Amino acid sequence: MGVMITMLSLVVILPIGTLILRGAQIGFADLWAVIGRERTFNALALSFRAALIAAVFNLFFGLALAWVLVRYRFPGKRILDASVDLPFALPTAVAGIALTTIYAPNGAFGAPMMDWFGLKIAYTELGIWIALIFVGLPFVVRTVQPVIEEIDREVEEASATLGASRARTFQKVILPMLMPALLTGFALALARSVGEYGSVIFIAGNLPNLTEIAPLLIVIRLEEFDYDGAIAIALAMLAISFVMLLVINLIQVWSRRRMGAA
């Protein structure tokens, strides 16, 4: 007990507390002024927007992937299942340079995209989406997968005997059961992506106002010894994280109430 509280304080509470304290010393008005600056605002907006797009992609793709992993039989399924966690296990810097190599205008995928569609992926916002999709990929899959496993087949059969098509059964019966898990996975992927740094900075291009993400701007401000600027951005991101955590907890409370104890 003592060990736990001591470590929690030293490693988590004290550092975050310091950040909040320093923010309070600067004052709300000054913090707000920093966030309102064009470059800062654009960086925060980019981080949030790209994370949102990646999380939405992962919401749909994660559902499809979890469904395929639970319901279908095909060779190599176990390897596929294990590989879903690759983004958890692979260091972000490694993912970052690997994705950049492939999607750069002269890369294995980047070159054909450039030649055929005139589409530049790396060093544009598109590249940031790719990196964030990579990072957030496992979240929805791993929250939804166990729920799909636990679906009672009888419920799907009941829907069919009542005349519902497979599509309607999915929409009206299966999807509502998966909704809490889907939203939780979505929120986790979003929270992770908003603050992601390692896998993004290589592929992003890092042009101020265009492809410069918020965590990178914190690093830049630190290198300029502009601590107040760094603190303002960090607090804005911390606020986003808190809201996200709150949302996750609310989803869980709501789903528990709605689905009952059974």
Partner 1 sequence: MQIEIDEIAKEFGTATALQAVSLSIPSGALIALLGPSGSGKTTLLRILGGLEYPTSGRVLFDGEDATGLSVQNRRAGFVFQHYALFRHMTVFENIAYGLRSRPRPSRPTNAEIERRVNRLLELIQLPAIGKRYPSQLSGGQRQRVALARALAIEPRMLLLDEPFGALDARVRKELRQGLRDIHDTTGLTTVFVTHDQDEAMELADLVVVMSMGRIEQVGKPADIRAKPKTQFVREFISA
Partner 2 sequence: MTTTLKTSGLRPQNFKSATQEPVWLRYTLIAVVLLVLSVLLYAPLIAVFVEALDDGIIMAIESLGNRDAQEAIKLTLIIAAIAVPANALFGIAAAWAITKFDWRGKAFLITLIDLPFSVSPVVAGLCLILLFGANSMVGGWLVANGYPIIFAVPGIVLATMFITFPFVARELIPVMTEQGRSEEEAALTLGASGWRAFFTVTLPNIRWALLYGVLLCNARAMGEFGAVAVVSGKIRGQTATMPIMIEMLYNEYMSVAAFSMAALLAVLALVTLMLKSALEWRYADQLAASHRH
Are 121 and 127 spatial neighbours (Cβ–Cβ below 8 Å)?
yes
As measured in angstroms, the least distance from the Cβ of 90 to partner 2 is 4
Chosen from partner 1, partner 2, none, partner binding at 111 (C-beta under 5 to 8 Å by type)? none
Q: Which stretch binds partner 2 (CB under 8 A): 31-39, 101-109, 118-126, 254-262?
A: 101-109
Tell me which residues in 60-99 interact with partner 2 (CB under 8 A).
Answer: 61, 64-65, 67-68, 71-72, 74, 78, 80-95, 97-99
- Helix (H) or strand (E) holding 74, with range, is none
The first and second tokens of residue 27, run together, are 């004052």
Chosen from partner 2, partner 1, none, partner binding at 177 (C-beta under 5 to 8 Å by type)? partner 1
Residue 178 contacts partner 2 per CB under 8 A: no
Residue 192 contacts partner 2 per CB under 8 A: yes
| From candidates 52, 120, 126, 195, binder to partner 2 by CB under 8 A | 195
Chosen from partner 1, partner 2, none, partner binding at 16 (C-beta under 5 to 8 Å by type)? partner 2
| From candidates 52, 53, 56, 102, binder to partner 2 by CB under 8 A | 102
> Which CB sits closer to partner 1, 21 or 261?
261
Chosen from partner 1, partner 2, none, partner binding at 38 (C-beta under 5 to 8 Å by type)? none
**b/e string for 125-150 if b means 16 or more Cβ within 10 A?**
bbbbbbbbbbbbbbbbbbbbbebbee
What distance in Å separates the CA atoms of residue 95 and residue 64, rounded to the nearest whole number? Answer: 23
- The Cα angle at residue 241 between residues 210 and 255, in degrees rounded to 5: 125
What distance in Å separates the CA atoms of residue 182 and residue 188, rounded to the nearest whole number? Answer: 10
Shortest CA distance to 65 belongs to which of 90, 86, 84, 85?
84
The first and second tokens of residue 87, run together, are 């983004």
Chosen from partner 2, partner 1, none, partner binding at 176 (C-beta under 5 to 8 Å by type)? partner 1
DSSP assignment of 142-204, as one string?
Answer: HHHHHHHHH--HHHHHHHHHTT--HHHHIIIIIHHHHHHHHHHHHHHHHHHHHT--HHHHHHH
Shortest CA distance to 248 belongs to which of 181, 194, 196, 148?
181
Q: Which stretch binds partner 2 (CB under 8 A): 5-13, 33-41, 120-128, 254-262?
A: 5-13
Q: Residues in the site for partner 1, rule: CB under 8 A?
A: 152, 154-155, 157-165, 168, 172-173, 176-177, 258-262
As measured in angstroms, the least distance from the Cβ of 132 to partner 2 is 11
As measured in angstroms, the least distance from the Cβ of 36 to partner 2 is 20
What distance in Å separates the CA atoms of residue 167 and residue 105, rounded to the nearest whole number? Answer: 41
What distance in Å separates the CA atoms of residue 103 and residue 86, rounded to the nearest whole number? Answer: 19
| From candidates 143, 178, 180, 186, binder to partner 2 by CB under 8 A | 143
Residue 19 contacts partner 2 per CB under 8 A: yes
Tell me which residues in 242-261 interact with partner 2 (CB under 8 A).
Answer: 244-245, 249
